[in-house]
Structures are given as structure tokens and as C-alpha cells.
């Protein structure tokens, strides 16, 4: 994580220099530990890509908690 944090700090500084540029990261096997580090260094200007299984699990949780929201997401998709 230390090497990742050093790298993301450099990339985030470069992105800020170019204005509203947003970094896009794929965490591999959903290494959630990088999310806070990426958000902090990019000041929230980051797109985190996740594995499809994480997306499906999130949708399942939404469907259980808020069926109306799930239907809205499904309709939009």
C-alpha cells in the first residue's frame, strides 16, 4: 500500500495540474484498502472500477433495502 500511495500522490498532483482530469483505477481483485487512499489523494476526483461480482452484490443489497431504487437502476440500465 505504501508504494501505491506514493504513486497515486504523484498521479493525483499531475491530474490536478491539468484541471478537472479524473483518474480511473481498477483495483484488480477489489482491494478495498486502496479506495480511501485514492479518494484522499485525488480529493474525490477518481473513478474506481470494481469487479462485476461487487457490482452485482451491491445491486442485490439495494434490491433488499430499497426495491424502488433497484427498479429505477434496472430501468435506467
- pLDDT per residue over 24-53, tens digit each? 988 766 577 888 999 999 998 998 887 777
Confidence of residue 73 (pLDDT cuts 50, 70, 90): very high
Q: How far is Cα 28 from Cα 42, in angstroms, rounded to an integer?
A: 19
Per-domain boundaries in the chain: 2-76
Residue 8 and residue 38 in contact, taking contact as beta carbons nearer than 8 Å: yes
Q: How far is Cα 67 from Cα 69, in angstroms, rounded to an integer?
A: 5
Q: What percent of the chain has pLDDT over 70?
A: 96
Q: What angle do CA 17, 23, 28 make, to 5 degrees?
A: 150
Higher pLDDT, 75 or 55: 75
Q: What is the reported pTM?
A: 0.62
Q: What angle do CA 15, 19, 23 make, to 5 degrees?
A: 35
Amino acid at each position: 500500500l505504501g508504494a501505491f500511495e506514493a504513486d497515486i500522490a504523484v498521479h493525483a498532483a499531475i491530474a490536478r495540474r491539468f484541471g478537472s482530469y479524473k483518474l480511473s483505477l481498477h483495483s484488480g481483485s477489489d482491494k478495498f484498502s486502496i479506495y480511501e487512499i485514492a479518494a484522499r489523494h485525488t480529493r474525490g476526483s477518481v473513478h474506481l472500477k470494481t469487479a462485476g461480482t461487487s457490482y452485482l452484490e451491491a445491486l442485490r443489497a439495494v434490491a433488499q433495502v430499497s426495491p424502488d431504487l433497484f427498479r429505477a437502476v434496472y430501468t435506467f440500465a
